[in-house]
Amino acid sequence: MPNPDTHSWNTMISGYAQMGNLELACDFFERMPQKNLVSWNSVIAGCERNEDYKGAIELFSQMQVEVEKPDRHTLSSVLSVSTQILDLHLGMQIHQLVTKKVIPDLPINNALITMYSRCGAITEARSIFDEMKLQRSVISWNAMIGGYTSHVIVSYASTACGKAQGMKIGLIS
């Protein structure tokens, strides 16, 4: 392509990242003359998807320095990173950004529940879960039950499992 536009650059970054060629995706990102939010989200999500968690965090920090505002997709990717590396402090910082930058939707709330549950902060996970009321999904229930069972709070897991089954929620065992 002689004169690729931003959309073309973003497509290349996303495509290479999805194919597992993160090095080439990052190279395209670095050479890109004009980055936008989609560019940042594509490369951060690519790092997260390819388990380059350090790279995702570094890019997110760089994004903040360059004053590009994160959206729910950015925050979801970085929440996933904090969950994978069990970094409660990072997850709590991202939660702060969520409350300031976006209106939490079902996927963001599920990501927060999963992050807090896996990082051992069951009380915080439960608080978000309780605030969701009728907006809970199978993923919400599985995240809470998984958090309870992985932290040996069997009585809560059993109760939650019973409630979910009573509501005809399909659980993953």
Domain ranges of the chain: 6-124
Mapped to the 3 state alphabet, what secondary structure does the chain carry?
CCCCCHHHHHHHHHHHHHCCCHHHHHHHHHHCCCCCHHHHHHHHHHHHHCCCHHHHHHHHHHHHHCCCCCCHHHHHHHHHHHHHCCCHHHHHHHHHHHHHHCCCCHHHHHHHHHHHHHCCCHHHHHHHHHHHHHHCCHHHHHHHHHHHHHCCCHHHHHHHHHHHHHCCCCCCC
Q: What is the pLDDT of residues 72-85, one digit of tens each?
A: 999 999 999 999 99
Q: What is the pLDDT of residues 36-51, one digit of tens each?
A: 999 999 999 999 999 9
For domain 6-124, give its CATH number from 1.10.275.10, 1.25.40.10, 2.40.50.140, 3.90.650.10: 1.25.40.10
Least reliable range by pLDDT among 6-15, 78-87, 153-162: 153-162
Q: Which pTM does this prediction carry?
A: 0.82
